[in-house]
Each structure stands twice: as C-alpha cells, then as structure tokens.
Structure 1
Amino acid sequence: MIIPHEQLDKDTLYNLIESYVLREGTDYGDVEYSMEAKVAQVKQQLHNGEAMLFFSELHESVTIISKGEFKALQSEVHSDSL
C-alpha cells in the first residue's frame, strides 16, 4: 500500500528517510554528501513521484521504493493472481 508522504508529520517523514538512507548505503560516487543532502535528495524524489513510501502488510513495515520497484511489485501481484 502506498502512503502519501504529504500526510506524514515532517519529523516522522524525516526519520523514515534518514533510516532509509542509512540502511541503503548508496554510493554517491566521488563526492561525499552530508546526511542532510542525502535526505533532501530522497525527499525530492518523493515529491517528484520518482520514489514512494510503501507499507508492506506482510512485513508490517514502511520503506521507500522507486517507481520501478513499485511497478515490478504490481506485476508480481497480478501474475500471481492469474
């Protein structure tokens, strides 16, 4: 289930994004970015629709996924129901 990021308290959203950034350990290339910069990048991706907050009922957890990951999940669900 997709959770609209605009409906979350700003501190809750920040904490979710920070947890995601720390967990993902993304390689940003030669330039080292601060935590604030990484959080701002993810927040912008959420705002642009490139990423979304996803609640997994199976795992009872919230994570951030890309639009491509979401489409892949939808494809899996549709193919499993056939």
Structure 2
Amino acid sequence: MIIPWQEVDQETLNNLLESVVLREGTDYGSQELSFDTKVEQLKQRLKSGEAVIVFSELHESVDIVDKDSVTGNEPGEQ
C-alpha cells in the first residue's frame, strides 16, 4: 500500500528517511555525500514523486522505493 508522504507526521517522516539512508550502505559514487545530504535528496525524491512510501501488510514494514518499482513501469516509461 502506498502512503502519501504528506500524511506522515514530520518527525516520523524524518526518522523513516534516516532509517532508509542508513540501510542503503556505502555509496560508491564519484564523490561521497554526507548523511544529511542523502536524507535531503531522498526527501526531494519523495516530494517530486520519483519515490514513494510503501507499507507491506505481509511483512509489517515500511520502506521508501522508486515509484516505478511499485507501479510496474520501466524507468522512463509513463
């Protein structure tokens, strides 16, 4: 089930963002980004609609994933 980020309490949203960034592990990009930068980038992806918050009733868990992985669209497909 997709949960609109606007309906999540601000403190809860921040905790979720931080948790997801911590789980992502090491960044092997061309430059290392700070934790705060990664959290802010993930928040911007939520706000732009590129990522969504999902709740799994089966696993009783919450995560932030690419919107395309939930909608079944291939990246770049509308």
TM-score, normalisation: structure 2: 0.84
Matched, 1:44 2:38: no
Hey, which bits of structure 1, 4+ residues long, moved more than 6 A?
Answer: none
Deviation string for 1:31-62 (max 9, x for gaps)? 11111100000000000000000000100110
| Residue identity (%) | 57
Q: Secondary structure at the match of 1:59?
A: coil
Tell me the number of residue pairs that the alignment of Structure 1 and Structure 2 aligns.
73
Counterpart position of 1:30:
30
Distance change in 2, residues 1:41/1:26 (3 Å): farther
Considering fraction of residues, name the structure with more helix. 1
For 2:5 and 2:26, locate their aligned partners in 1 and report how far apart those are by CA, in whole Å.
21
Aligned-residue offset at 1:25: 1.8
Match of 2:68 in 1: 68
Q: In the aligned structure 2, how far is the partner of 1:12 from the partner of 1:38?
A: 17
Structure 2 unmatched ranges of 5 or more? 73-78
**Deviation by residue 1:57-80 (Cα, 9 ceiling, x = unmatched):** 1001100010121123xxxxxxxx
1:31 partner letter: Q
CA–CA separation in structure 2 for the residues paired with 1:32 and 1:5: 27
Superposed CA RMSD in Å reads 1.6
**TM-score normalised over the length of structure 1:** 0.80
